[in-house]
Structure 1
Amino acid sequence: MNSDSVDWPPEAQWDILGAGFHESGLLERHAPKYCDSGTWWGGALDVEGLARHSAGLVGQAVAELTAGRCRLRSTPAQLAAGFESFRHLRVAGHKVQAFAPLSGFFLTADGWIRTHANYPHHERALLDAMRARTPEQLPGLLAQAGSLEAQERIVSAGGVAAAVRSRRQWLQSPEGQAAAAGPWAQFELHGIREAGAWQFRPEAKLPLAGLKILDFTRVIAGPTASRTLAALGAQVLRVDGPRHAELHDQHIDTGFGKRSTILDLAAVRGLAAAHGPLAQADVVILGYRPGALDALGLSAELLRECYPQLVIAQLCAWGFAGPWASRRGFDSIVQAATGIADAYRYPEGNPGTLPVQGLDYAAGYGIAAAVIALLRARRELHSTGTVRISLARTAQALFEFGGPSAPELALGIPRVSRCTSGYGMLDYALPPFELNGVQLDYPHSPTRYGADEPVWT
């Protein structure tokens, strides 16, 4: 392994990586001045503070990487649009669907359960687990089962669900205690002998021009991170497998500025093809469940051994230790388990949700900021490393913010744009960033899903 191990103490890591990644969590008092304060979504928790801070960390990281040459700011309207880009997307004039009919809250014999069935294979697992011959039978069958019993049956069948718990119930559980442990962004730094091929170029129009990122993520959080880095100039190649295709609208929404390829990593030929772009990549973002890539030789540890200069970012639902580490999860499911759905209950007692998929987007912007911070460490200190962020730990950070404290603010209209694509005309919200006073846009529209070769252009 072509590296020299350096044991960076935690207090040195925060100096290197920025005060916003302080070990005590994602705290508002460390937030850089990025966006005017205000409350616009409402609700029990300060989702606006989470949004301002996580996106503001991207601005802080860019400013530190570029020695102040590049500065990011935003307006509340644009920041809000950055946390609900799906709602602004129009594909050939049509709105996109956020949740499938069987994704939602269902009453059980002793409470409530939240299911996720947007993907066809998860819908099949859900129905099979509850022995429902048709979707119409599912509510009645769930009503006869306990919420935890139904949760475990669905998970065991390969589906995705979580019983609705209070915050106290979650924190008293082994999985809740494991997920809440440690800092929001968990860094490991390692010394290397060379700073890496990529360097910030002051003459470039965008701060990450020329950076190569291999993206092994799906859904919202990881793709939001890579979409953000693409808007800042990086070249992003997203890799998906052949068995469970990404949802059409989801790919379009998070695919701006990227290229898309399909590789069967379980096959020798597909795995070999992945190592081609890996050998030249600067960054890899992994969104698979912990341990899922180990047998393929693509774990963070093995990637670091093969490619010592790589910056590695890892994202998962429930954290990287504990009884739920390898469990499937989505933002809505994490909200149900961690007490958010309970905090947002309606007066009649039904569980509620955050006004946006705040855990996904905050984790995505946090990953983007952490990647940029690690690039600075690689250049200035000949140290690279790994960052880990989970949705469940992001929920913990949201509760640490408490309730909204800023005055109510009426949002203006965000800046939107239109472009042609292989999917027809696209209307979309522009990124939540102004670079030195100029609104950023994505470098190109989403390419067709899986249509690109696994090579760098």
Structure 2
Amino acid sequence: MRLVGDERVVAGPYRVAHLAARCVGLVTTLAADLLRDRGTEPGEVSVDLRHAAEAFRSERHLLVDGEPVGDLWAPLSGDYRAADGWLRLHCNYPHHEAAVRSVLGDDVTAAVAARQASDVVEAVLAAGGAAAQLRSPAAWADHPQGRAVAAEPLVAVERIGDGPPRPLPPADRPLTGVRVLDLTHVIAGPVCGRTLAAHGADVLHVGAEHLPVMRPVLVDTGFGKRTTWLDLRSQENATRLRELWSDADVLVQSYRPDSLSAKGFGPDNAPQGTILVSLSAYGHTGPWRARRGFDSLLQLATGIAHRGDGKPVPLPAQALDHGTGWLAASGVLTALRRRATEGGTWHVKVSLARTAHLLDSLGWTDSVESDSPVDAYLSEVDTPIGRVRHVLPPGTLPAAPPHWDHGPHIPGSDPATW
């Protein structure tokens, strides 16, 4: 794999562009290997560092009919000073805002300032909200959850059942004919599905009309996917989802650990020969494995946003989300190649916390934000929701350039069929 360009194009100190290029390069290389397995010589893989970095903040470039789709952050989401340090509240979903207000009232700033950060975080979490306390990298490394995450593989690809080998037939794209059920939300999981679609997979995103969404992210990650609604509170819809899974190759889910398992869509329920992908916030082991989390919260909890005693400093992209999505896609490609020769049923596991561990391990660099144009990495497409400006999929694969067959569809507008 060949890297093109300078990584010092987004504000430091963390090597975000390098992380992006590393993740994109891993997926593109694995896609090339799979393409070769399918009878097509892929050509030399390369990654443009600037393109990869902009893809890691693709939601910032999104326009529909020349206008932003909506705010990425709700007014109450943000960093707050507590009596003994800083914390962050995530209120982008109405039920998370309601949880915060139930604990802190209407004057959130004053209420947080009067309490210990850990007390606020635990109270918000207990009420069903989402929050995290700022820690130093050293404090996170010494925390039981930090130690648990550090011991986990970056991308776990585990055989969880039997099944005969299922080689893929000859094709001119890496994932032609591969069926992917996308049961994900926010950024990391949807990015995984979008990445697989860029390499030719048939991706069906499954949501429900009653669930809240972040519309800019939903549009941005909808490229190449069909979209349907199945409310799993209905037995009929749950049965239909099981039928879809039985005919799929891959199911990707990003709900909290055990939540979908309780509905019958966990590792113990995986149809023989399929690949289940589980994305989590804080990891798959340790005391916080089921804790609710988002990229911005993980940046505080893991010490990524820590700068001495000052206010948290965010990354220049939701790099933990995007990186985890790309790493999940790499796990799918690895599992597909193993299934082709070894057979089996597989479980891929990744987490935002483990991606943060990777980013921290890359060291620091002196980078500033580039002001050079990014037009070469952008395109526009007519869709049912309007003309959408978006970032093109990064990664050069000469024999089968990654691309989406169509833009985002109207949510829930496609039938629940393959």
Q: Would you call these one fold, judging by a TM-score over 0.5? A: yes
Query: Are 1:403 and 2:360 matched, yes or no?
Result: no
Following TM superposition, by how much is the alpha carbon of 1:190 offset from its aligned partner in structure 2, in angstroms? 5.1
Following TM superposition, by how much is the alpha carbon of 1:245 offset from its aligned partner in structure 2, in angstroms? 2.6
Asked whether the equivalents of residues 163 and 345 of structure 2 are also in contact (C-alpha less than 8 Å), the reply is no
1:265-312 CA-to-partner distances (Å, cap 9, x unmatched) read 232111111012111101111111111012211112221xxx111011
- Per the alignment, in what secondary structure is the counterpart of residue 159 of structure 2? strand
For 2:291, the equivalent position in structure 1 comes to: 327
Asked whether the equivalents of residues 42 and 400 of structure 2 are also in contact (C-alpha less than 8 Å), the reply is no
Q: Give the whole-Å Cα distance in 1 for the aligned partners of 2:77 and 2:33.
A: 41
For 1:64, the equivalent position in structure 2 comes to: 33
Following TM superposition, by how much is the alpha carbon of 1:163 offset from its aligned partner in structure 2, in angstroms? 0.7
Query: Are 1:42 and 2:11 matched, yes or no?
Result: yes
Following TM superposition, by how much is the alpha carbon of 1:406 offset from its aligned partner in structure 2, in angstroms? 9.1
Distance 1:302 1:439, change over 3 A: closer
Asked whether the equivalents of residues 64 and 389 of structure 2 are also in contact (C-alpha less than 8 Å), the reply is yes
Q: Give the whole-Å Cα distance in 2 for the aligned partners of 1:52 and 1:270.
A: 39
For 1:107, the equivalent position in structure 2 comes to: 81
For 1:308, the equivalent position in structure 2 comes to: 272
Give the percent of matched residue pairs that are identical in Structure 1 and Structure 2: 36
Query: Are 1:441 and 2:415 matched, yes or no?
Result: no
Q: Give the whole-Å Cα distance in 2 for the aligned partners of 1:243 and 1:410.
A: 41
Distance 1:112 1:240, change over 3 A: same
User: TM-score if structure 1 supplies the norm length?
Assistant: 0.85
Q: Give the whole-Å Cα distance in 2 for the aligned partners of 1:402 and 1:452.
A: 45
Correspondent of 2:93 among 119, 130, 151 = 119
Following TM superposition, by how much is the alpha carbon of 1:323 offset from its aligned partner in structure 2, in angstroms? 1.4
User: TM-score if structure 2 supplies the norm length?
Assistant: 0.93
Give the AA of the match of 1:126.
V
Q: Give the whole-Å Cα distance in 2 for the aligned partners of 1:160 and 1:308.
A: 36
For 1:370, the equivalent position in structure 2 comes to: 331
Note the 1:204-283 alignment, pairs <5 A: 204=172, 206-283=173-250
- RMSD, matched Cα: 2.1
For 1:336, the equivalent position in structure 2 comes to: 300
1:152-183 CA-to-partner distances (Å, cap 9, x unmatched) read 01000100000111111112222222222221
Q: Give the whole-Å Cα distance in 1 for the aligned partners of 2:141 and 2:210.
A: 36
Q: Give the whole-Å Cα distance in 1 for the aligned partners of 2:90 and 2:6.
A: 33
For 1:419, the equivalent position in structure 2 comes to: 381
Count residues with an aligned counterpart. Answer: 412
Q: Give the whole-Å Cα distance in 1 for the aligned partners of 2:336 and 2:318.
A: 28
Asked whether the equivalents of residues 164 and 337 of structure 1 are also in contact (C-alpha less than 8 Å), the reply is yes
Q: Give the whole-Å Cα distance in 2 for the aligned partners of 1:97 and 1:438.
A: 35
Q: Give the whole-Å Cα distance in 1 for the aligned partners of 2:46 and 2:373.
A: 16
Following TM superposition, by how much is the alpha carbon of 1:260 offset from its aligned partner in structure 2, in angstroms? 1.1
Distance 1:189 1:37, change over 3 A: farther
Asked whether the equivalents of residues 77 and 412 of structure 1 are also in contact (C-alpha less than 8 Å), the reply is no
Q: Give the whole-Å Cα distance in 2 for the aligned partners of 1:407 and 1:301.
A: 47
Q: Give the whole-Å Cα distance in 1 for the aligned partners of 2:371 and 2:97.
A: 39
Query: Are 1:80 and 2:53 matched, yes or no?
Result: yes
Give the AA of the match of 1:322.
G
Asked whether the equivalents of residues 161 and 272 of structure 2 are also in contact (C-alpha less than 8 Å), the reply is no
Distance 1:89 1:109, change over 3 A: same
Moved more, 211-220 or 184-193: 184-193
- Per the alignment, in what secondary structure is the counterpart of residue 428 of structure 1? strand
1:13-67 CA-to-partner distances (Å, cap 9, x unmatched) read xxxxxxxxxxxxxxxxxxx434445211132222222111111110121122122
